[in-house]
Amino acid sequence: MPEDADPHDSGAQNDRAAAELQAWFALGSQAVAVMEQLATVLRLELGLAVADAKRLLMVVLAMIPLILLAWLGFCALLAWLAVVASESVTLGLTTFLLLQLGSLFLLARAARRFQSSLGFPASRRQWRALMHSQAANSGETGQGK
C-alpha cells in the first residue's frame, strides 16, 4: 500500500460505490414494478377484448338474418320493377333468379380463390426452389469429383 494513499479516500470511494449500487437496485426495482403494472394492464385489457369479441360475434350473428332479408327485399324490388316495366311476370321471376344466380357465382368464385390460398402456394414455390437449388448444388458437387 503506498504511503501517500489516504485511508479516508478509499472509504469515500466505497461509499460512492455503495450509493451507486443502491441506485442501480432502486432502478431495477422500479423497472420490475413498471413491468408488473404493464402486465396487469395487459391482462385486464385482454379480458376486456375477449368479452368485447364475444359481444361482437353476437352482433354479427344477429345481423346475418337482417342482411339476408335486405338482400331478398332488394331482389324482390328489382324483380317487381321488371314486372311493372314489362308487364311480364316471367321477366320479373327471371330477374329475381338471375340476381340470385349472379351473386352465387360471385361467391363461388371468391371461395375458389380463397381455397387456393389455403394450400400455401408461395411456401410451396419457395420449397420447390430450395429443393431445385439443393439438387443443382449437389449435382455440381458430384461433377467436381
Kindly report the pTM of this predicted structure.
Answer: 0.54
User: Would you say residue 90 lies in a domain?
Assistant: yes
Q: What does the block give as the cell for 107?
A: 361467391
Q: How far apart are CA 8 and CA 16, in angstroms?
A: 12
**Is 2 within the bounds of a domain?**
no
Number of domains in the chain: 1
What's the mean pLDDT when you consider all of the chain? 88
Per the domain annotation, does 3 fall within a domain? no
- Asked if residues 75 and 99 have their Cβ atoms less than 8 Å apart, the reply is yes
Domain that holds residue 96: 12-143
pLDDT digits (tens, 9 = 90+) for 75-131: 999 999 999 999 999 999 999 999 999 999 999 999 998 888 787 888 888 888 888
User: Which candidate, 79, 114, 105, places its Cα nearest to that of 93?
Assistant: 79
pLDDT at 1: 46
Report, in this order, helix, strand and coil percent for the chain, each rounded to 5.
Answer: 90, 0, 10
